[in-house]
Each structure stands twice: as C-alpha cells, then as structure tokens.
C-alpha cells in the first residue's frame, strides 16, 4: 500500500520550454501533496505544499510563477516548470500524505535543461 | 532557526554488525520523527515513525529511539547486510499542516 508514482522519470528539454511533472497516489487519497527538489549529495528541499482544490503554499525563495502547482484531485498533483533554464536542472520528488503524519514519496523525476 | 544534524556523512560497517545512525536537532520541538531510506536516483522510502511520547520503536531488524531531552534519535540496523547500503534520512515534524524538516542524511555502506 501507499504507492506514489511520478511521470516522467526523467526528461531532457531545451532552455525556455516548459515541463510538466505528474505525481499520483495510486492506492490512497492524499489530502496534501508536497514537491521537493534535491541537488546531488544534498538533502531534500521543500518547494511547496498543496492541498486539493486550493492554491499551493510556496516556500521562501521559490518562484510561484516559475513552478506552477496544480492539485486537481485527491490523487493527482502536477508541477510545471515554466521557461526552464539550466539552473532548474535537478531531481524533483513529490510526496503524498493521506490522513496522518507519514509522507509517501514518489520515485522522483530527473530534469535536465540544455 | 531549526537545525538537524546527522552523524558523519558516511558510515562503513561490516556485514552482520549493527549500524547506528544519529540524528540531532536544535531549536525545534517535534511531535514526531521519521526515518527514510533513499537509494541513488530514487525517492525516499518510509521506514519508521516515532512520536515524542515514545522512547523506542522496532520493525524487524530496525530499531529507533527518541530522546526529547537530548534532542536526539538513534537508528539501529541489526545484522546489517550489503542490501542495507543506502542513504538514511531523518525528518522531524509537528503534525497537522506542518511540513517535514529533513536532515542531510547519512550514507551507510555495508561491506561483506
């Protein structure tokens, strides 16, 4: 139980294009979903928290117009990196939290911007 | 601001021994603490959650302790195996809408 999927698992795009990453909770409903990014050999950095049907709450320093988050249903959240640049290249991981305190993570998406 | 430190960037132990990982925190009062395992290029996998009113929790070969006075959690893997080699992350939270705060992780290498 408590499986979270992400799609795509990796993506390469040209600078200036937009990339959408999907996060799905497969066997439970997630009241809250989280988006993280992780640089090599560093820990997870929370980007934003989203609750179904409401606007995402972004962490300080994260541009909400650049990283668009849509939590359309209790099982799906999407992160769109708009006008991507090479510095946006990173490992993006989502997590979903059903009722309770435990977060269940997706397998991550490796974004490379050329 | 709150700070979470995990012991040594890397820990190397021999197969069969007990691995002990440390998570220390300051300027924070968590309601619970979680441990995750992360393999290279993968998302973290939940292992154990221990609450502030619990001293110890076990799951198969894993044992976690939580000392709110010392502001420390210890994570033990007994009879360690090479398959246990991974990075282990501790994370603190207060519950509700509060976010998890992650430590930097300890990379464990179990050699035969």
To the nearest whole Å, the CA of A13 is away from the closest chain B CA by: 19
Decide if B42 touches A, using CB distance below 8 A: yes
pLDDT of residue B90: 95
Query: Looking at residues B84-90, what average pLDDT do you find?
Result: 96
- Please, which pLDDT band fits residue B1 given cuts at 50, 70 and 90? confident
Cross-chain residue pair B46–A105, CB shorter than 8 Å: yes
Cross-chain residue pair A102–B34, CB shorter than 8 Å: yes
pLDDT of residue A92: 98
% helix, strand, coil for chain B, step of 5: 5, 55, 40
Query: CA B37 to CA A95: how far, in whole Å?
Result: 14
Decide if B112 touches A, using CB distance below 8 A: no
Query: Looking at residues B37-50, what average pLDDT do you find?
Result: 95
Query: CA A45 to CA B99: how far, in whole Å?
Result: 11
Query: CA B11 to CA A101: how far, in whole Å?
Result: 29
Query: Looking at residues A62-91, what average pLDDT do you find?
Result: 94
CA dist B19 to A13, A93, B13, B73, B106, Å?
Answer: 41, 27, 7, 14, 11
Angle CA B20–B22–B28, to nearest 5 = 155
Cross-chain residue pair B42–A108, CB shorter than 8 Å: yes
Residue A56 phi, psi dihedral angles, 5° rounding: -75, 150
B43: exposed, middle or buried (Cβ count in 10 Å: 0-12, 13-18, 19+): buried
Residue from the list A42, A49, A105 with its beta carbon closest to the beta carbon of B44:
A105
Window 64-103 of B, Cβ < 8 Å to A: 89, 93, 95, 97, 99-100, 102-103
With H, G, I as helix, E, B as strand and everything else as coil, classify residue B66.
strand
Whether residue A59 has pLDDT greater than 70: yes
Average pLDDT in chain B: 92
Chain B residues near residue A25 by CB distance under 8 angstroms: none
pLDDT of residue B97: 67
Residue percentage of chain A with pLDDT more than 90: 75
pLDDT of residue B99: 84
Residue from the list A2, A43, A104 with its beta carbon closest to the beta carbon of B105:
A43
Residue from the list A42, A101, A105 with its beta carbon closest to the beta carbon of B93:
A101
Residue from the list B34, B46, B102 with its beta carbon closest to the beta carbon of A44:
B102
- Please, which pLDDT band fits residue A102 given cuts at 50, 70 and 90? confident
pLDDT in tens, A6-55: 999 999 999 999 999 999 999 999 888 999 999 988 889 999 999 888 88
DSSP string, A21-90: EEEEESSS--SEEEEEEE-TT---EEEEEEETTS--EEPTT--TTTEEEEEEETTEEEEEE-S--GGG-E
Contact B34, B51 (CB under 8 A): no
Residue percentage of chain B with pLDDT more than 70: 98
Cross-chain residue pair B43–A107, CB shorter than 8 Å: yes
With H, G, I as helix, E, B as strand and everything else as coil, classify residue B84.
helix
Query: Looking at residues B55-80, what average pLDDT do you find?
Result: 96
Q: What is the chain B residue with the closest CA to A41?
A: B104
Query: CA B2 to CA B46: how far, in whole Å?
Result: 22
Residue from the list B32, B43, B104 with its beta carbon closest to the beta carbon of A105:
B43
Whether residue A84 has pLDDT greater than 90: yes
């Amino acid at each position: 139980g408590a499986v979270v999927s992400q799609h795509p698992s990796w993506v390469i795009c040209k600078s200036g294009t937009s990339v959408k990453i999907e996060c799905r909770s497969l066997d439970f409903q997630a009241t809250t979903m989280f988006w993280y990014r992780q640089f090599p050999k560093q820990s997870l950095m929370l980007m934003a928290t989203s609750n179904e049907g409401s606007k995402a709450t972004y962490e300080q320093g994260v541009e909400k117009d650049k990283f668009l988050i849509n939590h359309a249903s209790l099982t799906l959240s999407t992160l769109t990196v708009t006008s991507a640049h090479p510095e946006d290249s990173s490992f993006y991981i989502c997590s979903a939290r059903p009722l309770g305190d435990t977060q269940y993570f997706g397998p991550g998406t490796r974004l490379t911007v050329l | 601001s709150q700070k979470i430190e995990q012991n040594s960037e890397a820990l190397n132990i021999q197969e069969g021994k007990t691995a002990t990982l440390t998570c220390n925190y300051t300027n924070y009062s968590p309601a619970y603490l979680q441990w995750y395992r992360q393999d290279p290029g993968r998302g973290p996998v939940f292992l154990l959650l221990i609450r502030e009113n619990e001293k110890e929790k076990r799951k198969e070969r894993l044992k976690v302790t939580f000392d709110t006075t010392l502001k420390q959690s210890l994570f033990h893997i007994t009879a360690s195996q090479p398959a246990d080699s991974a990075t282990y992350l501790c994370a603190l939270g207060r519950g509700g809408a509060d976010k998890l705060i992650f430590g930097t992780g300890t990379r464990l290498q179990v050699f035969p």
